[in-house]
Structure 1
Amino acid sequence: MDRMIFVALLFVASYSFWNLVWYALVWHPKRRLMQRIRIYFPREHKTIYEIPLLQRILTPLVQRFASAVGKLTPRRYREFLMRITLLLTDPVDVNRLIGTKWLLFSSTLLFFGLLLLTSGSLAPVMWIVPFALFFLPDLMIRGKVNKQRQEMQSELPYLLDILSVVLEAGTSFDNGLSKICAKRSGPLYTELERMMREIAVGSTREEALRHAAERVQLPDFSQLVRALIQADKMGVSIVRTIRMQSEQLRMKRAQRIHEKAMKLPVKIMFPLVLFIFPPIFLVILGPGILQIIEMFTSQ
């Protein structure tokens, strides 16, 4: 009986303790207030104690390794990586990228060397893997850049429509862009926010627009930038210019969709010939071929 009472008291005490811990960690009013503050007012940079331990350990090692092997990287290839990374909306450290590439290459090469020493034989094709891993980040960055361009291309007409409505309401061009960028998210709006920061630190609107066009490298966006600069110099209404550019972009978008639809029959021919026609021929001609084979074999 005493043992049962002790177990019950122990259960109640442990249950109360974990409830207090849960309340202090999750349901405490101060804790909930801090969570709401983080949601509505996120911090741009994390403190050093909020970064994972593995990242804090590996980042200095990768940087030192990058500075050590940076001399092995050709200058033209380094400039090529800098041009690619500038097209990304999220900044990428070129030195860290080069260090990661060389680290992947050397570790894979060392692993295959140890495997060759232990097993005594290794397929020659496996030696291509280190070089493939070395150039894999380039392909990933190029794919991310193409994806960003597609998102910008599809979002640009909607941006012009919203901007024309905001400007017609009496808002200035800079304030209108700031309000739109604050409400929406995406690669295009990230570039526009960067452009607005350049204007805020003292650059002219023309310089900021040209820099944004160089980073985006999208023909429609470059055409829009040229139209805005020309309208600003000649004193033409920006609202009218933006409306005309929006109509042209939608027309070009319809033409691109029509072009893709016209190419569809040619593209669908390959899966038809390779995967659909052979089973159809097999189903239609199979019984007849079997009957002919039986007829000749029975004689």
Structure 2
Amino acid sequence: MANPEGAKEARGARDAAGADDTGTAGGTDDGSSGARGDRLAAVLRPVRAGNGFEEALEQILQLLRLGLVPGGGRLPAERELAERMGISRVTLREVLKVLADQGLVESRRGRYGGTFVLGRSGDPGAEALRRRVADVDVDVEDTLRFREVLEVGAAGLCAAYPLGAAGEERLRTALAATQDAPLAEYRRRDTLFHLTLAELSGSAGLAAQYTAVRARLNDLLDCIPLLVRNLEHSQRQHAALVDAVLDGDADGAREVMREHCEGTAALLRGFLS
């Protein structure tokens, strides 16, 4: 599938100066760039359109957890990473900032600079998430798939059948609440937005099931940091979803919601990898 982010953003971003573009990836066990490239190809691949930040974060977290670049080793240059994943270097730098904030990598400037992997066993968010998964004995993949089925179905139903003036106002109000939310309030208001969609679907059974699965999902999401880039992306998807619902575009609403769910899934899988 063509990736609009890679096609549109990467060309303009390649000319931006990058602190790590003077170096090549290093620190692999055998020192062979060919062998390193083969191993990285198994993890780093073009992301799908729509969730570039989330999927890029997932892939680099996997690369670190697999030890493909060991502690003290240098990640591939920004240009190489961005081209492998089909994202702009602006997006890549936001991913690297998240990893730096989690204590997984650090950027060094100068002739021998670059982004280096820190010798830590894991980041606090990932460790808390793994402990929580073990404590509550939750099947993460089952939760994510069931959530997608319910959310995509609810979005399609809301678009396929008239909501009425009151329903439309409820949906707009729930969307506005997420857009105005301070960071500490975002997850609660995001939950209410999604619950509103489930309730407006016209199926009491679907709404009840969604309430249960959302509680399990929030239990996991509360273990990882709120990422501003991810929240901004979610807000754009929320707005597109509401537009599709109010336009009566059931197929469009389902597709936006499916993409939205895949973004959340990519984040959780990345921290768990």
Q: TM-score range by the shorter chain?
A: under 0.3
Q: Which has the higher contact order (CA 8 A, sep 6+)?
A: 2
The structure carrying a bigger helix percent of its residues is 1
After TM superposition, the score normalised by the length of structure 2 is 0.25
* TM-score of the pair, normalised by structure 1: 0.23
The structure with the largest alpha-carbon Rg is: 1
